[in-house]
Structure 1
Amino acid sequence: MAKLLSIVVTLLQSIAETCGIPNPKEDYSNALAHDVDYRLQEIIQEAVKFMRHSKRTRLTVDDINAALRVRNVEPLYGFTSGDPLRFKKTTANMSDIYYVGDDEVDFDTILNKPLPKVPLDVTFTAHWLAIEGVQPAIPQNPTPADAKSELLSKRLKATANATGNDQVDVKPLVKHVLSKELQLYYERITEAVVSEEERLRYQAYESLRSDPGLHQLLPYFVQFIVEKVKQNMRNLVVCESMLCMIQALLSSPHLFVDPYLNQLMPAIISCMVGKRICENPKDDHWSIRDFAARLMALVCQRYGKTYHTMQPRITKTLLHAFLDVKKPMTTHYGAIVGMTQLGREVIRTVILPNTKTYADNILREPLETPNTIKHLEASKCRDALADALLKLIKEDRQAQADEAEQSMEDVDDVDDETKAVVMEKIGDIVGQELLAKCTQKSALTPILEAQV
């Protein structure tokens, strides 16, 4: 250690003399030498760590440079060379100093060398892989003929495999490989969400909602949801589990769900307007349809600004299901609650103008029939229409911030003339149900002013 300090002191004195500081004081040199010695030991210790982590027993220049980078120091130490270093000896201030000599270069040899090739300019190009799911016909993308031939080869292999040829090698659909941990996680989650134990299902939903690092599994979860909904349209428990699973994926801050909305939305709408999503018509499938409607409205609210055509297309689909007389009333109920969740403008422009016609032509006969199932379905549709109009009334009153804020109980009661107008606007079937829930005249302004 003392020898190293003396060498450092000698070097510092030599550097000071070259900088124009003759005969620097020994105390200053010793203090500076101790600091330099500490810094050198620190750099060497860091370099040894890099050497050990690299599974080597010989310290290299790269280790020293890595240690300097860790200390936010520009790596200026040394250079790498495959040739052995040849040190030369010189004497300064009665001390021996060893240095690496510079090679002599012949200028004629350098000048006579041919010039190197001019490097190519750096350029960047961009192209669309797909536009709304369709690959554009550009040179960077495979041609339709190549895609067709690839699809044909896959079908031939699948057919040969189905006939019992064990020698056929079927390529996987996905090119990236999942780790064993992710595969095990996927199996455990998919088993838990369809389990009969409520505790396991909630733990699976919470894991999907909060765990990071699941982006590689997202397409597999989406495919699992779509297949389960298709195969279990009459299994109420499975449909509810899939909706909860979609809600958990949408709630996760670590997942980018946008590319998979076109696959998830049909599954949600199927659970909402499906003809039968349970084996027994007396089961409480109405709450599942309400849950699907809220989930659909959440997707429209969150991603509606990014995908402008999504909500209008969903509204058009639900309107067709609502006005189709051949559809069952379970489908009508899902369409009504779905459009109700989309907001007051949809209620005002879509539901309200069609309420009277729908009630008179479709609901009147089932409400008067002794069949309990049909009567129940018609009652649910009637209540859903009344709740939609009631929601329109409440949201309109909340939107009128400039008027006097008063509750619905602080206004005048509905008179006979107002009741007659309400009956004329929306019919007696839904009108009676609405007037039973809203008994204030001023609250019925959206209904009274509607252009039906």
Structure 2
Amino acid sequence: MSMLRPETLQVVAQSLGLDDLSPTCVQELLPEVELRVREVIQDALKFQRHSRRAQLDPTHINQALQARNLESLYGFTAPGAVKYRQCEERETLFFAEDEELELAEVLNAPLGQIPLQPMLNVHWLAVDGVQPLIPENESIEDDSTCHTSIKDEAFVNSVDRKPLVKHVLTEEMQLYYTKVTEAVKSDDFELQRAAFSSLARDPGIHQLLPYFSRFIYEEVKHSNHDLSLLFSLMRACRCLLVNQNLHVELYVSSEGYWPSSLLLAHPLPSNWLHQLIPAILTCVLGKQLCENPADDHWALRKYAAQLVAQICERYGETYANIQARVSKTYHKAITDPVSLDRGASPSLSPPALQDIVTLLYDAFGESLLPYIRPEQPTSMLDLCL
């Protein structure tokens, strides 16, 4: 016995334009229609259980119809219960109550806005840590322009203020930094070689670069004339320079105050470079690099001078003031009597001075020869000095 009434099937047939449906045909179609309805309801119950819903709703019915490649139901997914009214002519017939609308109001109503098509747009959030000023990025405003209307001191004092953290390192990065710095300062050759190899090749240590540059700066400043430690620090600096995955120029070109106690005994310009170059030039022009003057501190000075030359050659075109400032420092270390008395210039040995003079003579000797009087000295040293 079918659960569906013949009247239900006749109403559906009439809505489809089939008015002459015979009672015999209705009785034959009722079992088949009921079977299809049961299948759809069973599939809808499966969707209800998988979506963990407590009640079956029209959304599950539509999902079941879509799974069977059937058209979904329209107008039954609105929130709230659907109101049904009883037909006046037949008490057993119900229909959904719809709101009556005036056709003139519908025709005269303004058209809605056309929805925008989905699209993708690519822009830079930051380039080398600097946020570009483009409309897609939020403008960075001064905090002083932000005011609050709350004046109660008790409320203001009760608010927990957290410090701004601009650079957060993971535990793995912190552990790596600790191990590398300990290896640089240790006397274990194998441990140092492993640390230097990692600094020269590892592409994932870019976040630690400012910390390593600051570490080299502070350790050179407080080295206490430890020649082996200074050598290790210069090797670490060279490893950072040869690593192609690091942007060392961001820390080579930084301008700031260069403490006079770090390098020469006399004050240097206050707008000098303050990250890597001061530490390297300390090992070139420092007054005393080792406790025992008999130690080979010239090798350290030569090694550090090669690093300075490498920096000038690599970043001289990008930052034009690097070579000029380094040359000015060398010139002041050679010509300043105070530096000579306090031992800053012995970092340039006589062979090194001879090399500098030779380079100057090769560059400017031919252009200066026509202006030299016969009674003037013509030796290379006298000419250039």
Aligned counterpart, 2:62: 85
Query: 1:233 deviation in Å?
Result: 4.9
What is the CA–CA distance in structure 2 between the aligned matches of 1:226 and 1:100, rounded to whole Å?
74
- The amino acid of 2:329's aligned partner reads T
- Matching residue within 301, 304, 311 for 1:289: 301
Matched, 1:278 2:327: no
Query: 1:383 deviation in Å?
Result: 2.7
Check the 8 A contact 1:333/1:384 in 2, yes or no: no
Between the aligned residues of both structures, percent identity stands at 34
Matched, 1:242 2:219: no
Gaps of 5+ in 2: 1-48, 52-57, 76-97, 131-138, 147-159, 255-274, 366-373
**Relative to 1, partners in 2 of residues 1:306 and 1:199: Cα closer, same or farther, differing over 3 Å?**
same
Q: Secondary structure at the match of 1:100?
A: coil
**Relative to 1, partners in 2 of residues 1:271 and 1:173: Cα closer, same or farther, differing over 3 Å?**
farther
Deviation per CA, 1:213-262: give whole Å up to 9, x if none.
Answer: 11111111111111101111511111111111110001111111111113
Matched, 1:426 2:381: yes
Higher normalized helix content (fraction of residues): 1
- The amino acid of 2:142's aligned partner reads P
Matched, 1:308 2:320: yes
What is the CA–CA distance in structure 2 between the aligned matches of 1:199 and 1:311, rounded to whole Å?
36
Query: 1:98 deviation in Å?
Result: 3.7
What is the CA–CA distance in structure 1 between the aligned matches of 2:163 and 2:65, rounded to whole Å?
64
- Matching residue within 179, 193, 204 for 1:202: 193
Query: 1:100 deviation in Å?
Result: 2.7
Aligned counterpart, 1:345: none
What is the CA–CA distance in structure 2 between the aligned matches of 1:253 and 1:202, rounded to whole Å?
19
Check the 8 A contact 2:185/2:229 in 1, yes or no: yes
Check the 8 A contact 1:273/1:332 in 2, yes or no: yes
Aligned positions, number: 248
Check the 8 A contact 1:87/1:101 in 2, yes or no: no
What is the CA–CA distance in structure 1 between the aligned matches of 2:68 and 2:164, rounded to whole Å?
64
Matched, 1:259 2:250: yes
What is the CA–CA distance in structure 2 between the aligned matches of 1:186 and 1:127, rounded to whole Å?
25
Q: Secondary structure at the match of 2:62?
A: coil
Larger Rg: 2
**Relative to 1, partners in 2 of residues 1:144 and 1:86: Cα closer, same or farther, differing over 3 Å?**
closer
Query: 1:201 deviation in Å?
Result: 1.3
Query: 1:265 deviation in Å?
Result: 0.7
Matched, 1:230 2:207: no
Aligned counterpart, 1:298: 310
Check the 8 A contact 1:209/1:249 in 2, yes or no: yes
What is the CA–CA distance in structure 1 between the aligned matches of 2:238 and 2:166, rounded to whole Å?
28
What is the CA–CA distance in structure 1 between the aligned matches of 2:171 and 2:50, rounded to whole Å?
36
Aligned counterpart, 1:142: 142
Query: 1:395 deviation in Å?
Result: 8.6
Question: What does 1:3-18 align with in structure 2 at a 5 Å threshold?
Answer: none
**Relative to 1, partners in 2 of residues 1:86 and 1:270: Cα closer, same or farther, differing over 3 Å?**
closer
Check the 8 A contact 1:275/1:328 in 2, yes or no: no
Query: 1:279 deviation in Å?
Result: 1.2
Under a length normalisation based on structure 1, what TM-score does the superposition of the two structures give? 0.46
What is the CA–CA distance in structure 1 between the aligned matches of 2:115 and 2:63, rounded to whole Å?
35
Q: Secondary structure at the match of 2:247?
A: coil
Aligned counterpart, 1:178: 169
Aligned counterpart, 1:384: 352
Aligned counterpart, 2:369: none
Query: 1:296 deviation in Å?
Result: 0.4
Matched, 1:219 2:210: yes
Aligned counterpart, 2:70: 100
- Matching residue within 161, 184, 200 for 1:193: 184
Query: 1:142 deviation in Å?
Result: 2.9
Gaps of 5+ in 1: 1-56, 60-80, 90-96, 131-138, 147-168, 337-379, 398-417, 428-446
What is the CA–CA distance in structure 1 between the aligned matches of 2:243 and 2:333, rounded to whole Å?
32
Check the 8 A contact 1:205/1:248 in 2, yes or no: yes
Under a length normalisation based on structure 2, what TM-score does the superposition of the two structures give? 0.53
